[in-house]
Amino acid sequence: MVEPRPFYALILTPTRELAHQIGEQTAGLNLVQGSSICTVQVITGGRSIVHQGIDLARGPHIIVATPGRLADLLRTQKAASESGSAPEWNLSRLKVLVLDEADRLLEDNFGKDLSEIMSAVPRQRQTLLFSATFSDAVKRAVEASKAVAAAEGRKPPVMWQSKGITESSKQLAAGSATVDTLSQYYLITKPELKDAFLVHVVDQFLTENPHSLVIVFSNKCKWCHLLGLILSAVGIQSAVLHSSMSQNDRVAALTSFKSSHVRVLIATDLASRGLDFPTVDAVINHNVPIRPKDYVHRVGRTARAGKAGMALTFADLFEIKRLRAIQDFIG
């Protein structure tokens, strides 16, 4: 950014936690001699929408947002404009639009909110899509961009894939490959024995690895709470993270885990994407993920940046079909 100006860039991401992480990192990167050269505003659910409207009216240079809350604010602005009030802010001068975790933004239930946002940003802009998964939705977006560019006589969009991700490899093109430094195991057991095995594995792992962190994934919010109580009952402190928690509680859970105040995070797939936990050495799936690609994202929280990691999945007889689907998916 040569000269900071209001509403220069908008970064969209699917979860509140990732939005706050990006906001913190962006704010840190733009410091010059201890002073911020541009303002960064994070807009997500879980906070006062009135206060966020006031924050946007101040004209931040960079906005980091989840689609739902930003779309709600845009609809409020539109309603006010239709009633004769002058809008307090708009995105008409936006220069850069970033879609982080683009595969999820394009595939999940963000369509209506994304349409609202796209109608508010200028047509002439730079758009950047980032995704660890080269999904069908991302492919369609790339092809659509190429078609529009050709029709308008513009240069085609630039697409870059990291080393090892090639369309000639079906698994890698689907984003399904797991790294070689990840050791993957599964345990077939009865449903009623999963909790006992979890306690044993977590306790043994933390004892043998006193500086490591562990993430335990579960498919349901209520199971996260229950597992947290079970671990607490045997003297293992943990933090719980899921979508039914208040934003303040979510932030507190992430902070305590990242700072190693607690060494176990029990979470739904809310924690499976984007969040950076550099010292996680083990991921345990208390349930087999419903979708194979969710498994890939979960185990991707460990064995990062060339480090070794371990992933263990507990499966009962009713989850064998899902487990086989994962094995086929990752090869």
Domain boundaries, the chain: 9-160, 173-330
CB 202 within 8 A of CB 284: yes
Beta strands 96-100; 126-130: pairing state: parallel
- What pTM does this model have? 0.77
CB 17 within 8 A of CB 45: no
> Residue 319: its pLDDT value, please?
97
User: Which superfamily does CATH assign the domain made up of 9-160 to?
Assistant: P-loop containing nucleotide triphosphate hydrolases (3.40.50.300)
Topology alike, domains 9-160 and 173-330: yes
Helix, strand and coil percent figures for the chain, each rounded to 5: 45, 20, 40
> Residue 137: its pLDDT value, please?
85
CB 299 within 8 A of CB 176: no
> Residue 219: its pLDDT value, please?
94
Tell me the three state secondary structure of residue 82. Answer: helix
Q: What is the pLDDT of residues 106-150, one digit of tens each?
A: 987 899 999 999 999 999 999 999 987 777 888 888 888 889 888
CATH architecture of 173-330: 3-Layer(aba) Sandwich (3.40)
Share of the chain above pLDDT 70, in %: 92
> Residue 224: its pLDDT value, please?
97
Q: Which segments of the chain does DSSP mark as H helices, in order?
A: 16-29, 49-57, 67-82, 102-107, 111-118, 136-151, 170-173, 194-208, 221-233, 247-258, 292-299, 320-330
Q: What is the pLDDT of residues 165-210, one digit of tens each?
A: 443 334 444 444 588 899 999 999 999 999 999 999 999 999 999 9
> Residue 37: its pLDDT value, please?
79
> Residue 59: its pLDDT value, please?
94
Low-confidence ranges of the chain (pLDDT < 50): 164-176
Q: Work out the number of other CB atoms within 10 angstroms of the CB of residue 10.
A: 22
List the structure tokens of 54: 């006031």
201: CB partners within 8 A, 6+ apart: 284, 312
CB 112 within 8 A of CB 75: no
